[in-house]
Structure 1
């Protein structure tokens, strides 16, 4: 179980910065079981640690997502907002999606609304296998902007595993960022 996450953990062991599994895999790590098939695996890192990331990915083919297109990334060029996605491909078919996160003064900042923050010291948890993963309430906030069927499934699977603090933070974040989101119905009661 969680073989892909454990492979990422092994690969990221030499990374000097903070990293954590994100997306649907983070939801599954929080629950403790694989609830669905995952097309890819996403890793969250911080924008201010790009040099360490460039070093880690030196022998990979790297692309950044810009306005729906992928363009080759020169590892020497800093990536600035609004760019936040990196696609890395390695010989032998390995691939990784890297999501660049913002932080300032000890707080994670939601790139789509920099007023939404979370303490860095509490923004990730660790699975039983020792894999760091992004808190599910933050993952769900990212998923709320362009919700697909798999995102609704992720919400329904993880909802019973969220504590009251997680539910309250997600509720307040959704009220601020996506005030008509259907998940609010479950969070308001």
Structure 2
């Protein structure tokens, strides 16, 4: 099966994903820009995709729940079809879900290492936190990644949207969140330009 173009996105909204996953037993939560908007309680900008995280061992359950989609592994710029029942290779941490009927990508399923109780930052495993501190629940009942962790991921690229997300989030971060993000940035990006603002 040949995937469509990698920019053929028509992502679900978090509420559409949540309605499909309401009976899932495995851990899941929205990450990326949409996670920040769930924290803000409103949509602050357009989102070209919808990312959510699960544990690798939960892939079979979530593929079964989202069986309306065909899933593809995404790694190093290569998109490859993942047959039903097959597990992604250990080095893969991203699966895109394709709605073949419309030839549009709907979700970006991120495989996060760690355990149900411990979150581990994939780019530096010395950064860990209780999963209970990393997962928040929106007013509408949707689980999402805490803002400090989202911004830690965004700090690597400093795209225009990442800069805008940081500027909008900064005034709303409480002192503990600011300190957490500052400590994490000092470990991973010790000369990062956001440190001065924190």
Q: TM-score, normalised by structure 2?
A: 0.86
1:96 and 2:101 matched: no
Count of residues in correspondence between the two structures: 185
For structure 2, the 5+ residue unaligned runs are: 1-11
Shift in CA distance, 44/123, structure 1 to aligned 2, threshold 3 Å: same
Shift in CA distance, 4/58, structure 1 to aligned 2, threshold 3 Å: closer
Distance in 1, matches of 2:120 and 2:60, equals 20
2:190 to 157, 169, 179: 179
1:16 to 9, 20, 25: 25
Distance in 2, matches of 1:111 and 1:31, equals 25
Residues 1-189 of structure 1 correspond to what in structure 2 (within 5 A)? Answer: 4-90=13-99, 91-92=101-102, 93=104, 95-104=106-115, 106-187=117-198
Distance in 2, matches of 1:81 and 1:110, equals 16
Distance in 2, matches of 1:47 and 1:89, equals 19
Shift in CA distance, 165/80, structure 1 to aligned 2, threshold 3 Å: farther
Choose between structure 1 and 2: higher strand proportion.
Answer: 1
Distance in 2, matches of 1:82 and 1:110, equals 15
Q: TM-score, normalised by structure 1?
A: 0.90
Q: CA RMSD in A?
A: 1.8
**Cα deviation per residue 1:166-185 (whole Å; 9 max; x = unaligned)?**
11111111111111211111
Choose between structure 1 and 2: higher helix proportion.
Answer: 1
Distance in 2, matches of 1:70 and 1:44, equals 18
Distance in 1, matches of 2:176 and 2:76, equals 35
Following TM superposition, the consecutive aligned residue runs of length 4 or more in structure 1 with deviations greater than 4 angstroms are none
